[in-house]
Structure 1
Amino acid sequence: MADDTPSRSELAEDRTDLAEDRTLLANERTFSGWARTALATIGIGLGFHVLFGALEPAWLPRVIATIFIALGVAIIWMAERRACAIQARLSAHNIHTLRSLNMRLIAWVYTVGALALLVALWLIDGAATS
C-alpha cells in the first residue's frame, strides 16, 4: 500500500512557492500604490497651478507645478525600477503576474501624460496672458 502523503520537504517547497507568489502579488500592489502616489503628486501640481495661478510673478505657480509634476514622474520611474527588479528575482508558481513590460508601459504613459500636461501648462497660460 503506497503512502500518498507528501513528505516534509515537498510541503516546505509548496509553502515556499506560495510565499513567493504572495510576494509577487504584494510587489504588484506596492507598484500600484506608488503609481497612485505619482498621479496624486501630478494632481497636486496641477491643482496648485489652478488655485494659485494669480500669484506674481506669473511664472512662479508654473515652476511650483512643474516641480510637483516632475516629482510624480520620478516616483513612477522609481516604482517601476524597483518592481521590475523584484519581479526579475522571483518566479510565479500558481499565479499570473503583471509583466515587467506592462509596468514599463504604465510608467511611459504616465510620463507622456505628465509631459503633455507641462507643455499645456506653460504654453496655454502663456498664450492667455499675452
Structure 2
Amino acid sequence: MISMPDRAEMAKDRTDLAEDRTVLAHERSFAGWVRTGMAAVGIGVGFHALFESLNPTWVPKAIATAFLLIAIFIFLSAERRACRILDNLDPHNVAVIKPIRIRLLSWALAAATAALGAALWLLVRV
C-alpha cells in the first residue's frame, strides 16, 4: 500500500519550492540591474564618442561621466540589494550564486567603470 504524504509535509514542500523560485527571481533581478548598469556605461561612452567634437571639450566628458556614475550606483545598489535578500532566504533544491561572487562582480564592474571615466578625462584629442 502506498502511503500518502501528510498535509504538513506537502505544505512544507510547497513553501520550499516557493522560496527557491524567489531566490531565482532575485538572481534574475540582479542580472537585470547589471544589464541596466552596462547600458548606462554604453550610453556614456556612446555619447562621448558622438559628441566629442563639442566645445568646450569638458561638456561631453561631463555628460558621459554622469552616465558612468549612474552605472556605478546601479552596480553597487544591485549588489547590496541582492546580498541582503539572499541572506534572508534559504534555498532548498537550487544552486544559487554565492554572495561573494555577486560582490566581486559588482565591485569589478564599478572599478572598471571608474577606470573608464578616468580614461575619458585623460584622453587627449589629437
Could you say which TM-score interval applies, normalised by the shorter chain?
Answer: over 0.9
1:116 is displaced (CA, Å) by 1.4
Matches of 1:113 and 1:40 in 2, distance apart? 14
The residue identity in structure 1 corresponding to 2:48 is H
Matches of 2:75 and 2:23 in 1, distance apart? 18
Query: Could you say which residue in structure 2 is the equivalent of 1:112?
Result: 111
Matches of 2:3 and 2:37 in 1, distance apart? 51
Q: Please give the TM-score of this superposition, normalised by the length of structure 2.
A: 0.96
Q: Deviations over 1:43-95 (max 9, x none)?
A: 10000000011111110000000000000010011111111111010001001
Query: Could you say which residue in structure 2 is the equivalent of 1:75?
Result: 74
Q: Secondary structure at the match of 1:53?
A: coil
Query: Could you say which residue in structure 2 is the equivalent of 1:37?
Result: 36
1:4 is displaced (CA, Å) by 2.1
Aligned positions, number? 126
The residue identity in structure 1 corresponding to 2:125 is A
The residue identity in structure 2 corresponding to 1:55 is L
Q: Sequence identity of aligned pairs in percent? A: 48
Matches of 1:111 and 1:61 in 2, distance apart? 21
Query: Could you say which residue in structure 1 is the equivalent of 2:125?
Result: 128
1:7 is displaced (CA, Å) by 0.5
1:5 is displaced (CA, Å) by 1.1
1:117 is displaced (CA, Å) by 0.6
Matches of 2:83 and 2:115 in 1, distance apart? 26
1:19 is displaced (CA, Å) by 0.2
Matches of 1:50 and 1:107 in 2, distance apart? 25
Q: Secondary structure at the match of 2:30?
A: helix
Query: Could you say which residue in structure 1 is the equivalent of 2:91?
Result: 92
The runs of at least 4 aligned residues of structure 1 exceeding 2 Å deviation read: none
- C-alpha RMSD of the superposition: 1.1
- Extract unaligned runs of 5+ from structure 2: none
